[in-house]
Amino acid sequence: MATPDKYSDLKPVSAFNAALHSKCPKCRKGDMFKSGGLGIFSQKMYTYCPYCHFQFEMEPGYFYVAMFVSYGMIVAEMITVAIGTFTFTHSESPWLYIGLLLGVTFILSPFNYRYSRIILLYWLTPKLHYDPERAKKPYDEL
């Protein structure tokens, strides 16, 4: 009879999965946003990770850098939509492009806001790494 693996829940979640579900980059267990996993329409962010008490805004104004990430994301999205529009319609009307690009920017802004911060913390902050020790127990049980 196989013994139950008591460490199975200690197996680390992949960085991609944790980022997709907006989990804390330090423990990959606590939510970064109050609306949890994939609910991107409420953008209230926790100050500290509810699981390991990591402070998300590591320095005052740290998330200003996320503006540049968000800028890069918007440029990539606009280029994709513009090329896609041209490929499918072969239109040369500037109004079609202006309308579509502004619409896409507006519709994707909650997504860009959330994932620019997540990308910044997961992949653009060299001193911030996953810490398996922090994932073992919630901070209030230590």
- CB of 63 within 8 A of CB of 120? yes
Among 22, 30, 119, 121, binds Zn ion (CB under 5 A): 30
| By the rule CB under 5 A, 63 interacts with Zn ion | no
Among 27, 69, 118, 121, binds Zn ion (CB under 5 A): 27
**Minimum distance of Zn ion from residue 12's CB (angstroms):** 13
**Minimum distance of Zn ion from residue 55's CB (angstroms):** 10
**Minimum distance of Zn ion from residue 37's CB (angstroms):** 15
| By the rule CB under 5 A, 51 interacts with Zn ion | yes
Distance CA 65, CA 50 (A): 23
- CB of 116 within 8 A of CB of 66? yes
**Minimum distance of Zn ion from residue 95's CB (angstroms):** 47
| By the rule CB under 5 A, 26 interacts with Zn ion | yes
Distance CA 74, CA 86 (A): 18
Residue 48 three-state SS = strand
How far is the CA of 49 from the CAs of 4, 60, 138, in angstroms?
Answer: 30, 17, 10
The residues binding Zn ion (CB under 5 A) are 24, 26-27, 30, 49, 51-52, 54
